[in-house]
Amino acid sequence: MIEESTSSTEQKSKGKKLKHLFWIIPLVLCLCCAGAFAWYVYQQMQPPAPQALDESQQAFLQYVLDSKYPEPLLGALPYPVKPANLFIYAKAGIIIDASNGCVLFEKNADNVIPPASMTKIAVMYVVFQAVANGETSLDTRFEPVRQAWARNAPPQSSLMGLGENQLVSVHELLMGLSVASGNDAATALAYHLSGSVEAFCERMNAEMEKLGLKNTRFVDASGYSELNTTTPREFAALARAYISKYPDALKTYHSAPSFDYPTKENYPANYTGGIYTKKMYASNKLLNIVEGCDGLKTGFIYESGFNISLTAKRGNTRFISVTMGGPGVGTAEGNRYRIADGRKLMNWAFASFETAPAQEKIVVPVRVWQGTENAVNLLEAKNHALTVPSISENAASKVVRTSQICDSIVAPVQAGDQLGKVQYSVDGIVLEEIPLIADRTILEGGTVKRAADKIAQNLIEKK
């Protein structure tokens, strides 16, 4: 009997233990799940750290930026300003901030007018591309073709003096273009690179199309023909593209005060004829008149009037102006009007605006809920210098950047989606607002991930 009683007691004890296990085990499991979820929630409160983009993601992001947020060569100021009341003698003109293409003033800027010798900027643009592509080099020397000899140029042409028996370098021809405005230099370069003027013009026109210039077309390389066309707006865009891509050209070529040609080095060693060196002076008379002026190019034919594309830099600020259809009888009078217009536009622009250089591109990591990834980087869709109105002394140094981000970001997210904005302002005036966009695509997570994130999001955001 004693043994039976002991056995019964042991069985009851085991039963109690089993009963305890039935609620202890679930309790432990629940506590573990609660702890794990609490840890998950805690992790979601920490600053996210998105993984670096791989090559394919970077390529897709660049495609999105180019397609959804393109930066045109020219555009309006992103904030309202009172139009300037400026009188210029030229029939048409424009002035822009070279750093971002913002138009500050314009007058009949879409009038189609022959560019005359300003055409040579397009020639130099193509030549520098050819140098960069390895098609030629600045030191390449060759004998100019007969069609490029000065004596075969049309009457009243601007010339650098190319002739028979000469050897000339690409560099010297570019000097002849920029300083002497040599029509012979333009023809020599056209034959050198393309075999004919016609083929070279096709190449120039193709490059203008790539820049989006619809009214800028060339039938010759020198600008002599009245069938060459452009507008002040489009030529300002070309000038901006040119100096943005080839900034050294300003110092080397467009601000050179003079150029001597030909010299002894331009003839073979056994040459016994006479060498008549000519000193040519820059046709851009504003180089010595407007502070900071270091380019670009003048032009005149009767059908266009007196034209000039001009650029000047002071501190961080560079402006580009183009005036076309300037009046005047003879070069001296035409230059007086060109000088008056160029000086007025530049002095007004420097007195009214300054450029704030682009700040380092902002990158903001943010939390993404219910996605296959937990975080995304927000980037500025655009990053460029700002044109700042001179509303106070050194206004450009007072630019303030603030960012605003969407409160709750839930997957799916597409690369390029706007999820916030960056605001640039000075003295309380908003200069520009730029979208903050997702740098990657994040798809929806699975059912458990979405459910867990919904709960965690409610707990965190209620706090």
- DSSP 8-state secondary structure symbol assigned to residue 252: I
- Between CA 188 and CA 162 the distance in angstroms is 9
pLDDT score recorded for residue 256: 96
- Between CA 43 and CA 30 the distance in angstroms is 20
**Overall pTM > 0.85:** yes
pLDDT score recorded for residue 102: 97
Residue 193 has φ and ψ, to the nearest 5°, of: -90, -30
Render the burial of 44-75: b for 16+ CB within 10 Å, e for the rest. Answer: beeeeebeeeeeeeeebbeebbeeeeeeebbe
Provide the strand spans (E) within 72-144: 75-76, 92-97, 102-107, 141-142
Residue with tokens 């605001």: 423
The enclosing H or E element of 378 equals: strand 375-380
pLDDT at 396 over 80: yes
pLDDT at 100 over 60: yes
% of residues, the chain, pLDDT over 70? 88
Residue 2 pLDDT class (50, 70, 90 cuts):
very low
> Cα angle vertex 134, ends 130, 138, to 5°?
70
The least confident of 45-59, 66-80, 236-250, 392-406 is 45-59
pLDDT score recorded for residue 1: 46
